[in-house]
Amino acid sequence: MGDVMRTIQQPSLAALVGQTAFMPDSDISESICLEIEGLSKSFGTFVALNSIDLTINEGEFVCFLGPSGCGKTTLLRAIAGLEPQSSGRIVQMGKEISHLPPQHRDFGIVFQSYALFPNLTLADNIAYGLRNQRHTRKAIQARVQELMSLIGLEGSEKKYPAQLSGGQQQRVALARALATEPGLLLLDEPLSALDAQVRVHLRQQIKALQKTLGVTTVMVTHDQEEALTMADRIVVMNHGVIEQVGTPEEVYRHPKSAFVAQFVGNMNFLSAEVCSPTAVMIGAQRYTTQPHALENKRPVHLAIRPEEVVLTSSGQAESQLEARVIHIEYLGAFLRLTCDVTSADIQLRVDIQHADAVQHQIQLGKDVHLALPAASCRVFRQDGN
Amino acid sequence: MTTLTTARMTGLFGFNQEAWIKLGLMLLALALMLIGLVFPLYTLLLKSVQNSAGEFIGLANYRHYFSTPSLVNSIANSFFIAIMTMCLVVVLAFFCAYGITRTCMPGKKVFKVLTLLPILAPSLLPAISLVYIFGNQGYLKGLLGGESVYGPIGIVIGMCFWIFPHALMILVTALSNSDARLYEAARSLKTPAWRTFLTVTLPGIRYGLMSCAFVVFTLAITDFGVPKIIGGQYNLLATDIYKQVVGQQNFQMGAVVSMILLLPAVLTFIADRWVQRKQTSQLSARAVPYQPSPSPVRDWVFAVLCFSVAGIILLMIGTAVYASLIQFWPYNLTYTLRHYQFDGLGGSGWESWFNSLKMASGVAVIGTLVIFTVAWMVEKTKEFSLLRQWVHLFAILPMAVPGMVLGLAYIFFFNHPNNPLNILYGTLAILILNTLVHFYTVCHLTSMTALKQLDPEFEAVGASLKVPFWRTYLRVTLPTSLPAVLDISVYLFVNAMTTVSAVIFLYGPDTRLASVAVLHLDEAGYFASAAAMSVLILLTSIVVKILHAMCTHLILKRSQIWRQR
């Protein structure tokens, strides 16, 4: 890994982003970096993690995504050994580390607060872990230089953290964590303390850096956009359990539960009743859906994303609804309509492009026809599973 | 991957070596607290239910105590003095704190410096001055209208003098913590000033006021120096302990009085802890500090009030200085330095000053190191949570123990022939240990506050980079907390210099301290020499305080680059 790092000549990471950030993950080797088995953690009576099983491959970028209090940070801290689990096993590179203290595990970590040492210069911060490995002074200096240029801050070695912007501090924290070439990089909400623009920029940089170095990375975030754009695989968590593990596309297109469906992206939920393995009834009308395994007569939710609802001109397609526009929200690139369905007591949110809005003469009170394509209609049980 | 192999090696051969070191340090801290606080207090409790032969006699000593009117009277006396002092000091300190924080009165800085002076002097100094001012030959004797200063009047004035700065600091903090946005809201709602005061100002500082009252009460009820010098025949609990032990050699009764004095101190301590907890939860990080706007009449009223207080402080200190510099009050008023030579006064002279200096330096250096490190263990380690809680509890406890009680407890514990630690008895070491424990709490809390302001993940980062925890402590935690560390050391030094209550029982023939010397000189009738010694202590504290201010200034200047927010 270190060799890969040394071959990088470009001082700026931005240049790397275009080539690497969104390439398919063909180069990920299948050897396992981290195995988590039956990991549980409770604080008193509160169960923070409930029997988590997870495997992370070498070189992978995995995001733990979920609302606050879902246990994602607890899981990260358990992997680091900072908050030991109540039960369960963690195996890293074939070696059991369940009961090792943090200093005997192999990882680098970046915190939300960065935790840069305020009284040390950037160079001393980055060299902090190196000094302990009995490297020569010269080797340490070279390594610091290399990392400083890798994060685009060469020449600032003598500065102190307080003299940097938030984004720069973040990059120094990253360099410090990577300095000792750890086998695993842990990022605990690394971007959430930054401005929106810096955040978007930095998330490309981090992703590019991770690709280049090939370091296995686990990032905790509550920001779905961050997870969708950065992760090779997303682990969606809620109430201490894993709801779904999958690629960003799988999680977004094929959510396994109503929770995932509504937490990642926007989703309309319509109360319905199962009438066949590929259809549900809303009121008296039948809608064809994706195949499902729920028994007849069971009350369910039909779920469809606002951008998947199709605006049609007038009654030709099946699964069609008559509705009236009752609210228009202007969201910049597109419009979000709230439509009152005439035949039933339900409302649908529909995202449409400006061109469609012009074509269909969308305005408040306008009567529209909506189609729900069967391929986009997912069915979830009403009890939340 | 060299790191991985080294990690594996240490994992095999020295499994969690750091945890063992932490455990060792924590047990050392616990041992210090057991030996320095818990065991002595337990021995004291035992003594109070034993007769002079050491046999258990139940509550007989207590029955004897409560059936002796001259002893029981002290309880009422002590409460009377403490409550009087509390009322006076809190009201006075409130007005002065209000002047500092909420008005644009001139000379705020000068006033703040002047109000610090009483803390730097032993509590014996105001009592000595009072004798010169209101005593039988005092120059303002007429003001008392025939009343004697030797008694409650003198005690209350003396206590007000040296407790005032403590109260002022608490109230200044409470008043500065108020949120300007609340006042803006009140003004925009057209609230009259008196109503703003009642609905915004007072509720905002009510916990500060309560805490202030508790602190003043505790200091007043436990103080020994003032009533010893100027109390006359007016008995208080603190002086009773001294009389029983030193005067009558009645150790059992001394223990009983100690237990009785311990009770109000512990109760106010508990109430204060409860109030403090409320207070911290009330503050919000987004509060905007209040900036007073000028109002000539109000500003000058407060200026006159504050500088009258400052004037009284200067009068008291000035009197002591003057008394130490003249031949013989009131008959020979020519200046002389001979009282500073302490001729023929044996161990009560310069030798005692050097002892005090040694002791105070020892407490400052050792105490700061020990207290800050223990606070850091308590705050920043994750392991051994039960042990940490106990250490924390024992660290907060000393505040509830009056100095006289602690001193007597040390006699019982360390002077016991079967205790191997009794070699410490009469040495400088026991004085250092005693003083360290006596003033432990404030330093511990200051350390905890400073440590809580640091990023909670420093230790985690250090561990993830495989840096041993002590290196992160020495390279990051200690340097970033240096101002707080210096504050602690100077607090310990000044208190060690000025304290008299606990050490009065513990000094040996070679380790007599300056503050104890003041007491002895006064007892022996060398009033001018006693004044000279108190002034010497005051000057020493002032010099150290100035050095501290310069050090802090230099450090802050040097670290300005990284300390900016």
Query: Side-chain half-sphere of B543: how many Cα atoms within 13 Å?
Result: 8
Cis peptide upstream of residue B330 (ω within 30 degrees of 0) = yes
Question: Which strands make up the sheet holding A87-92, listed edge to edge?
Answer: A46-57, A32-43, A87-92, A95-96
Select the residue of B3, B4, B562 nearest A119 (Cβ to Cβ): B562
pLDDT score recorded for residue B286: 63
Select the residue of A83, A120, A181 nearest B3 (Cβ to Cβ): A181
Tokens representing B328 are: 């013989």
Coil, strand or helix at B56: strand
* Å between B16 CA and nearest CA of chain A: 7
Confidence band of B304 (pLDDT split at 50, 70, 90): very high
Does position B8 have pLDDT exceeding 60, yes or no?
Answer: no
Does position B552 have pLDDT exceeding 80, yes or no?
Answer: yes
Q: For residue B481, which of B543, B390, B556, B534 has the smallest C-alpha distance? A: B556
Mutate to test the interface with B, among A73, A79, A117 (most CBs of B within 10 A): A117
Q: For residue B472, which of A132, A247, A262, A68 has the smallest C-alpha distance? A: A132
- How far apart are alpha carbons B183 and B205 in whole angstroms? 14
Coil, strand or helix at B179: strand
For chain A, give the number of residues: 385
pLDDT score recorded for residue B281: 56
Could you give the angle at which helices B108-120 and B296-325 cross, rounded to 10 degrees? 40
Confidence band of B381 (pLDDT split at 50, 70, 90): confident
* Å between B279 CA and nearest CA of chain A: 27
- Give the phi and the psi of residue B521 in degrees, each rounded to 5: -60, -40
Could you tell me how far CA B425 lies from the centroid of its own chain?
24
User: What is the SS3 assignment for chain A?
Assistant: CHHHHHHCCCCCCHHHHHHHCCCCCCCCCCCEEEEEEEEEEEECCEEEEEEEEEEEECCCEEEEECCCCCCHHHHHHHHHCCCCCCEEEEEECCEECCCCCHHHCCCEEECCCCCCCCCCCHHHHHHCCHHHHCCCHHHHHHHHHHHHHHCCCCCCCCCCHHHCCHHHHHHHHHHHHHCCCCCEEEEECCCCCCCHHHHHHHHHHHHHHHHHHCCEEEEEECCHHHHHHHCCEEEEEECCEEEEEECHHHHHHCCCCHHHHHHCCCCEEEEEEEEECCEEEECCEEEECCCCCCCCCCEEEEEECHHHCEEECCCCCCCEEEEEEEEEEECCCCEEEEEEECCCCCEEEEEECHHHHHHCCCCCCCEEEEECCHHHCEEEECCCC
CB < 8 Å to B470, chain A: none
Q: For residue A342, which of A311, A312, A366, A362 has the smallest C-alpha distance? A: A366
Select the residue of B3, B460, B476 nearest A106 (Cβ to Cβ): B3
- How far apart are alpha carbons A207 and A226 in whole angstroms? 10
Facing residues of B214 across strands? none
Quickly list DSSP for B7-42: HHHHHHHSTTHHHHHHHHHHHHHHHHHIIIIIHHHH
pLDDT score recorded for residue B385: 87
Across the interface, whether the CB atoms of B3 and A179 are under 8 A apart is answered: no
Across the interface, whether the CB atoms of A103 and B479 are under 8 A apart is answered: no
Angle (nearest 5°) at CA A229 between A223 and A230:
90
Across the interface, whether the CB atoms of A129 and B2 are under 8 A apart is answered: no
Domains of chain A in sequence order: 2-107+182-259 (3.40.50.300), 266-381 (2.40.50.100)
Instruction: Give tens-digit pLDDT for B245-262.
Output: 999 999 999 999 999 999
Across the interface, whether the CB atoms of B467 and A132 are under 8 A apart is answered: yes
The backbone region for B515, taken as left when phi is positive above 0, alpha when psi lies in -120 to 50, beta otherwise, is alpha
Q: Over chain A (385 residues), what is each successive 10-residue block's mean pLDDT? A: 37 34 46 94 92 95 94 95 92 92 92 92 93 83 92 90 91 94 94 88 91 94 93 95 95 92 91 90 86 89 92 67 91 92 86 89 89 91 70
- How far apart are alpha carbons B84 and B76 in whole angstroms? 12
Select the residue of A100, A179, A183 nearest B1 (Cβ to Cβ): A183
* Å between A13 CA and nearest CA of chain B: 24
* Å between A161 CA and nearest CA of chain B: 7
User: B68-336: same fold as B18-42+346-565?
Assistant: yes
Mean pLDDT lowest among A150-164, B267-281, B297-311, B456-470: B267-281
pLDDT score recorded for residue B11: 42
- How far apart are alpha carbons B520 and B51 in whole angstroms? 30
B198: part of which helix (H) or strand (E)? none
Mutate to test the interface with A, among B16, B22, B454, B465 (most CBs of A within 10 A): B465
CA end-to-end span of chain B: 38
Percent of chain B with pLDDT over 90: 69
Furthest C-alpha separation in chain B: 89
Quickly list DSSP for B495-522: HHHH--TTGGGT--TT---HHHHHHHHH
Coil, strand or helix at B145: coil
- How far apart are alpha carbons B402 and A116 in whole angstroms? 43
Please name the residue of chain B whose CA is at the shortest distance from the CA of residue A161. B562
Where do the structural domains in chain B lie, given as residue ranges? 18-42+346-565, 68-336
Please name the residue of chain B whose CA is at the shortest distance from the CA of residue A162. B562
pLDDT score recorded for residue A359: 87
Residue partners of B348: CB distance under 8 A and separation at least 6: B342, B512, B517, B520, B521, B529, B533
- Fold for the domain defined by B68-336: MetI-like fold (1.10.3720)
* Å between B283 CA and nearest CA of chain A: 22
Burial environment of residue B504 by CB neighbours within 10 A (0 to 12, 13 to 18, 19 or more):
buried
* Å between B364 CA and nearest CA of chain A: 25
- How far apart are alpha carbons A192 and B361 in whole angstroms? 48
Tokens representing A91 are: 């195996």
CB < 8 Å to A133, chain B: 2-3, 6, 466
Beta strand pairing call for A299-304 and A285-288: unpaired
Across the interface, whether the CB atoms of A115 and B457 are under 8 A apart is answered: yes
CA dihedral B100, B399, B495, B529 (to 10 degrees): 100
Mutate to test the interface with B, among A33, A58, A77, A104 (most CBs of B within 10 A): A104
Select the residue of A102, A118, A162 nearest B464 (Cβ to Cβ): A102
pLDDT score recorded for residue A377: 92
| B interface residues, A as partner, C-beta within 8 Å | 1-4, 6-8, 10-11, 16, 18-19, 382, 455, 457-458, 460-468, 471, 475-476, 479-480, 559, 561-565
CB < 8 Å to A93, chain B: 4
Please name the residue of chain B whose CA is at the shortest distance from the CA of residue A108. B464
CB < 8 Å to B461, chain A: 109, 111, 115, 117, 128, 176
CB < 8 Å to A118, chain B: 480, 562-563
Mutate to test the interface with A, among B461, B470, B564 (most CBs of A within 10 A): B461
Across the interface, whether the CB atoms of A160 and B10 are under 8 A apart is answered: no
Question: Which strands make up the sheet holding A335-341, listed edge to edge?
Answer: A310-312, A367-371, A320-330, A335-341, A347-352
* Å between B11 CA and nearest CA of chain A: 6
Average pLDDT of the residues of chain B: 90
CB < 8 Å to B559, chain A: 119
Does position B539 have pLDDT exceeding 90, yes or no?
Answer: yes
CB < 8 Å to B460, chain A: 80, 82, 102, 109, 111, 115
| A interface residues, B as partner, C-beta within 8 Å | 80-83, 93, 95, 100-109, 111, 113-115, 117-120, 128-129, 131-133, 160-163, 176-177, 179-183
pLDDT score recorded for residue A284: 81
pLDDT score recorded for residue B4: 42
pLDDT score recorded for residue A30: 67
Across the interface, whether the CB atoms of A117 and B476 are under 8 A apart is answered: yes
Furthest C-alpha separation in chain A: 79
Confidence band of B219 (pLDDT split at 50, 70, 90): very high
* Average confidence (pLDDT) over B191-206: 89
Tokens representing A98 are: 């369940």
Question: Which class is domain B18-42+346-565?
Answer: mainly alpha
* Å between B468 CA and nearest CA of chain A: 8
Radius of gyration of the CA atoms of chain A, in A: 25
Across the interface, whether the CB atoms of A80 and B464 are under 8 A apart is answered: yes
Angle (nearest 5°) at CA B332 between B326 and B336:
30
Radius of gyration of the CA atoms of chain B, in A: 25
- How far apart are alpha carbons A315 and A334 in whole angstroms? 25
Instruction: Give tens-digit pLDDT for B50-106.
Output: 988 888 998 999 999 999 998 999 999 999 999 999 999 999 999 999 999 999 999
* Å between A56 CA and nearest CA of chain B: 18
